[in-house]
Amino acid sequence: MHTEDLARRRRAHATANGAIWALGTMSGTSLDGVDAAFLKSDGITIETFGPHSYRRYTDVERDTIRAALGQWQEGPNVAAASEVVEAAHAEILGAMIKAHRELAGDDVLIGFHGQTLAHAPRTHGTHQSGDGRVLAEYLQRTVVWDFRTADVRLGGQGAPLAPYFHFACARWAGLAAPVAFLNLGGVGNVTWVDPRLPKPEAAGAVLAFDTGPANAPINDLMRARLGKDVDAGGALAAHGSVEEPIVDRFLDQSYFMKIPPKSLDRNDFNDLLVDVASLSDADACATLTACVAASVARGMEHFPDPVSALYVTGGGRHNATLMTMLAARTGCTVLPVEELGLNGDMLEAQAFAYLAIRVARGLPTSGPLTTGVAATVGGGQISRPQG
C-alpha cells in the first residue's frame, strides 16, 4: 500500500470528536520492565499515538517479582512484589507526566495493568499485583486498573485483553482484509481481525486466544544455563538443531485441542524445560523456539478465514530465528508490526491507554470471542485521587 493511500485511509477513520489523551502501562510476563505510552482516542477510533518510555527492572526488583509468581493475593511474597510494581510504575508515570505536561493535564487517564502473578480463571481467578488507588494518590490523576477481574467473575478467561485495540489498529492502518496480530511476550497470544466490520463487538470481527508459551521458557533456559536474560536475536537457537519428537509431544497436550477463546498462565508449560534438559544449550534453545512457532501454527487452524499477513509485536519479533520458524511453520507472511507504522515495543502499553478510555466511557473491553465471557463486558476499576 502506497504511503499516500495509507495516510488517506487513516485520516478517513480518525475523529477528533471526544478524543482524549490517556497514558497506558504494561509490565509483562517476561519481567523485563515497565512500558508507558500516550495515546489519543475517543475509545473507538485511534486519533494519534504519543510519546513513550521504558523503565527496566533491576535484577533485585525482577527477583522480588519472580519470587511471587504463581501466588494469589495473600501469598507470602506478594506484598513485596506489589511494592516493587507500584514504585516502578510511579517512577515512570511521574516522569512521563512531568515531561509531557501538555498531554498529561489533570484530565488525562492512566491505564494501569499491574503485574500478573497468577492466572487460573477456571479455578482461583486472576491476580495482577499493584493497587491503582496508590498510584491515583501519588500521581494525582485518575487511574483505571484491575481490567481482568470483572471478565473472570462473569465466566470469561480474563485474557487476552488487547483484541479490541488490535481491531482499532487495523482500521487505523487502513487494512481492508483479515489479518492477525501476534503478541510474543512471556506467553503468546493472537488476535484474528476482520477490519471490514464496523466495530470489534460485531459478530465475526475478532477472535483471540493465547497460542502457548513464547519468550518465557526461552528466557528461563538462558538464565538457568548461561546467566543471560534472553537469546538475543535468536543467535543461540540459530546454531542448534530442533528435536522434533519433543515438539510433537508438546503439541499433543490438551490445551492445543481446546476451541478458543482460551488463556494461559506464564508457568503452564514449565515441563518444557524438563523435556529439553538433556539437550545441548543450542539444541535446547532451538527446540523451545520451534515449540513457540509450532503452537502459533496450530492456533492458526482456528482462524475463521485465512489472513493476508501475521503481524508480530512484543519482544519475540526481535528474535530472527523465531520469526523465520514462524514463517516456515505457518506458511504465512510474517512481519513486525512496524510494517504498519506501529510500535511493537509499546503496543500493549498503548492498548491499556485505549482500554482505559473505553472503561471511562462505558464501552466493552472484552467479549465472547476474545475471552469467552457470555456477553460483552467492560472491565476495570476507576480510582480518583482524594480531594
CA distance 387 to 59: 37
CA distance 200 to 213: 26
- Say whether pLDDT at 331 is over 60: yes
Residue 381 has, within 13 A of its CA and on its CB side, a CA count of 15
Banded pLDDT at 14 (limits 50, 70, 90): very low
- Residues 178-237 have pLDDT tens digits of 999 999 988 999 999 999 999 999 999 999 999 999 999 999 999 999 999 999 999 999
Q: Once rounded to an integer, what is the mean pLDDT over residues 23-31?
A: 90
- Say whether pLDDT at 56 is over 60: yes
Q: Backbone phi, then psi, for 47, in 5-degree steps?
A: -85, -50
Q: Once rounded to an integer, what is the mean pLDDT over residues 149-166?
A: 94
Residue 28 to residues 116, 117, 184, 359, 361, Cα–Cα distance (Å): 7, 10, 10, 21, 26
Assigned C-alpha cell, 55: 523503565
- Residues 251-260 have pLDDT tens digits of 999 999 999 9
Average pLDDT, the chain: 93
Short-list 118, 149, 154, 147, CA closest to 372: 154
- Percent above pLDDT 90 for the chain: 87
The residue whose grid cell reads 526488583 is 61
On whether the CB atoms of residues 78 and 70 are closer than 8 A, the answer is: no
- Residues 76-124 have pLDDT tens digits of 999 999 999 999 999 999 999 999 999 999 999 999 999 999 988 878 7
DSSP state, residue 368: T
Short-list 48, 55, 165, CA closest to 99: 55
Name the architecture of domain 174-340.
2-Layer Sandwich (3.30)
- Say whether pLDDT at 154 is over 90: yes
Q: 377 or 263: whose pLDDT is higher? A: 377
The residue whose grid cell reads 508490526 is 337
Banded pLDDT at 6 (limits 50, 70, 90): very low
On whether the CB atoms of residues 276 and 284 are closer than 8 A, the answer is: yes
pLDDT at residue 5, rounded to an integer: 52
- Say whether pLDDT at 286 is over 90: yes
- Say whether pLDDT at 2 is over 80: no
Residue intervals of the chain classified under CATH 3.30.420.40 are: 14-155+356-361+378-383, 174-340
Banded pLDDT at 1 (limits 50, 70, 90): very low
pTM more than 0.85: yes
Q: Once rounded to an integer, what is the mean pLDDT over residues 18-37?
A: 93
Banded pLDDT at 16 (limits 50, 70, 90): very low
Please tell us whether the domain made up of 14-155+356-361+378-383 is placed in CATH 3.30.420.40: yes
